[in-house]
Amino acid sequence: ADALWAVPAGRSLRPTSRPGPGAVCLAGAHRLETLLPLLRFARSLRVYGPRVAAGSPPVASAWELELPGMRYVLTLSPESFRGFSGEGAVLGDLAADETAADADLVGALLAFEPRLDADRLAAGAGLTPARTRAALTRLGTSGRVGYDLAEASHFHRELPYDPKRVAAMNPRLRAARALVEEGAVRFTSPAVAQVTTGETRIVRFDGDRATCTCPWWLDHRGGRGPCKHVLAARIAREPAETTGEEAADGASPAATAGPGTRETTGETA
């Protein structure tokens, strides 16, 4: 079934069939059934989602019930048949060679805080804001930090995950590293790379955005994370970028922004 969209309507939410500013995606309304037994105890409902515009494809959303002494959060994937595992949204942060070492530095500063101060972590680890965010992403994939939507911050936890399995759980990342090791990436200009995997794919960079000529990118347009060719090109050009960043940033990292746009689009009492 097509996704619905929830838009604010006074102190309530109104379903609509089209996305627009302020709307939150509801892909598979039947998946909200787990909220029903809790509604009589709920004080409020908040919904979260990335910013969308007219014509936006389905995106993930989170539905939070505030209950006495606790919050219940249900996160929905963009489509009923899709999960979150393997989507690839965090592969860009995991691809950098220094991310594992940075995660160790940041991890050593954690003390089971319910709310992590990203600025303090960046200063304590001597890292730039971007590298601190990437380190938190890696710690998240290995079960050591979570993210609280209501507080808009990470928190420290320890789940029984093996950090060494992060790469094993991401075949695209493994394939990208193999391409770099095989010398399959060649830059024809600072913003254009040729990646040869039987056929030659062209990767183009425009700031933080990258495109590729492979079928994966043409099908998903980055909606399921970068393809292996984009990841390989980013890994291959990383040493030059790192040198430039260190020269510009020095030893004084700037303030760290949050891990992404957070938007509360509706609340009912």
Using H for helix, E for strand and C for coil, what is the string for 26-92? ECCHHHHHHHHHHHHHCCEEEEECCCCCCCCCCCCEEEEEEECCEEEEEEECCCCCCCCCCCCCCHH
pLDDT digit string (tens) for 39-67? 999 999 999 999 998 888 888 999 999 99
> What angle, 0 to 180 degrees and rounded to 10, lies between the N-to-C axes of helices 118-125 and 99-107?
110
Q: What is the pLDDT of residue 48?
A: 94
pLDDT digit string (tens) for 87-134? 566 777 777 768 888 988 999 999 999 999 999 999 999 999 989 998
**Single pTM value for the model:** 0.66
Q: How far apart are CA 125 and CA 120, in angstroms?
A: 8
**Residue 205 exposure: Cα atoms within 13 Å on the Cβ side:** 21
Q: What is the pLDDT of residue 216?
A: 86
**CATH number for region 91-166:** 1.10.10.10
Q: Kindly calculate the radius of gyration of the chain based on its CA atoms and give it in whole angstroms.
A: 20
> Measured in Å, how far apart are the chain's first and last C-alpha atoms?
29
Q: What is the pLDDT of residue 221?
A: 81
pLDDT band at 262 (very low <50, low <70, confident <90, very high): very low
| Domain layout of the chain by residue ranges | 4-84, 91-166, 171-238
Q: What Å distances lie between residue 1 and 16, 29, 57, 81, CA to CA?
A: 14, 10, 14, 11
Three-state SS at 165 = helix
Residues sharing a CB contact under 8 Å with residue 131, sequence separation 6 or more, in sequence order: 96, 98, 99, 102
